[in-house]
Structure 1
């Protein structure tokens, strides 16, 4: 989820914790737990700092080790230890339990995004992405905001957020049912389906869809429970030519390939250089595929320039990165 949603979830857990007799409403433990749940709800996303280095590091590592099982416990012990230094009167066990819950909830809700997490590391590095909830879901965010407002107006925070989470459980069930309905429609209209990747949007009744069949990639949308097929590409394996192999050694290309489950490729040859491009098919927007990886190589197959990430026009891509003109 986005940073704002994780923050309001941390506040909500701090309010819910008041139902715990050891926490209460207004005492040192309640104060420590509120701080712990807010910090804990953000801690796994510390890897966002990798974006300051480059997109390749960020794409390869975001929601990886920091969302793993060992990291969950490390975060909880660190945050609890620091808070008990500053608020020694707090109940350490209950502070740790609620902080741990905040971190677990962060990782858990991220699993429902299309991006997913490596939540089962170190047992597996597989990305778990259920594709049910958008990274920013307006309903989830504003339901928490309403709960916070009701709390400010004088309602009991524990029962308020217990009600909020009861509503959200129902919301997740509805989203899961909607996704299953899309899968059913796809199987009715396409043969030989090998994989379906569904990415929710911020609009409640609109979804991005990429489908791999035996011979094709299909790009579609679901709008108001109706499938709209947008593009179809032949499913051509990436040839292991010298050009492709050299491009795959680049950090940006390799990061993209480690992350993207469905993409097509292009290789263009110019007078003095080659250009290799991989295009993620999950996020078609206004006729354009904005998530790409591109590498330019000279005649000796040395990488001249490369990029991976979101870009919404060819002009911006070349201007931003000062790539060799076509």
Structure 2
């Protein structure tokens, strides 16, 4: 998810806590706990500063987004709030654990994916059923904030918001799973990319050198958007020798389209194809 959404996760998690028995410094400690926990996995962006081998695509949302690092981050945050606010309640550790877990797990559901099981596996896990910027999330949190302002006991409203969010993700995931299975029976590889409009998906398929992008939903007939041809028999070593990011992209993406013509040799991720090019496209000029 984007930075704004992760921040809203932290704020809404803080809102969902029953703070009636907490003193002011304890509330501040909880606020820092949920906010830092909702952001700390994205600290990996600083790895761009020392990336000289074109590995940033794998490093970002890599080990810092692993389920195995969640307790370590939670412990660091717990130590931080103990030092800053002189709190010792073990519940701050559990709030930190939940905050980091929500960040890492929520990122599984969009097309970017995460290295959720690093270092055991460097495979990027991506479900593609929630857009990276999801306005439904924002809408749920906005409604919760507006309603909570009028309530004496506000934390229950935010808990209902979390229930609504989980239900929304479950519905989107169920629809995505149905579509994925329908295409998987007929194609070698399948990937999903959710639209900004709920229930709408782009389904990307690959069979040998043929790559197709369909606009589809369980509520309507599929529409073929683009048909692409991947030059699968082309050697990519000349590309990898010059453009290290291209090698990383082929490892990071579920599958790529290989472009080999008189002008360029390159690879791109078809999940981000807009009719002319892809947001993730690495190539060399010939």
CA distance in 2: counterparts of 1:203 and 1:4, whole angstroms: 19
Name structure 2 gaps, 5 residues minimum: none
Greater Rg by CA: 1
Name the structure 2 match of 1:75. 73
Q: Relative to structure 1, is the Cα distance of residues 213 and 265 closer, same or farther in structure 2, using a 3 angstrom cutoff?
A: closer
50-59 or 73-82: which moved more?
Answer: 50-59
TM-superposed deviation, 1:51: 4.6
Name the structure 2 match of 1:36. 33
Q: What pairs up with 1:119-134 in 2 under 5 angstroms?
A: 119-134=116-131
CA distance in 2: counterparts of 1:138 and 1:104, whole angstroms: 21
Q: Relative to structure 1, is the Cα distance of residues 62 and 96 closer, same or farther in structure 2, using a 3 angstrom cutoff?
A: same
Question: Which of 58, 61, 76 is the aligned partner of 1:60?
Answer: 58
CA distance in 2: counterparts of 1:156 and 1:263, whole angstroms: 51
User: Is 1:2 the counterpart of 2:14 in the alignment?
Assistant: no
Question: Which of 238, 252, 262 is the aligned partner of 1:246?
Answer: 238
10-19 or 45-54: which moved more?
Answer: 45-54
Question: Which of 292, 306, 323 is the aligned partner of 2:281?
Answer: 292
Normalising to structure 2: TM-score of the pair? 0.88
Q: What pairs up with 1:1-326 in 2 under 5 angstroms?
A: 1-18=1-18, 24-51=21-48, 56-88=54-86, 90-183=87-180, 186=183, 192-214=186-208, 216-222=210-216, 225-234=220-229, 236-240=231-235, 244-249=236-241, 250-269=243-262, 275-296=264-285
CA distance in 2: counterparts of 1:160 and 1:32, whole angstroms: 22
Count of residues in correspondence between the two structures? 283
Q: Relative to structure 1, is the Cα distance of residues 70 and 186 closer, same or farther in structure 2, using a 3 angstrom cutoff?
A: closer
CA distance in 2: counterparts of 1:121 and 1:287, whole angstroms: 34
Whether the 8 Å CA contact 2:68–2:117 is kept in 1: the answer is no
218-227 or 120-129: which moved more?
Answer: 218-227
Whether the 8 Å CA contact 1:76–1:99 is kept in 2: the answer is yes
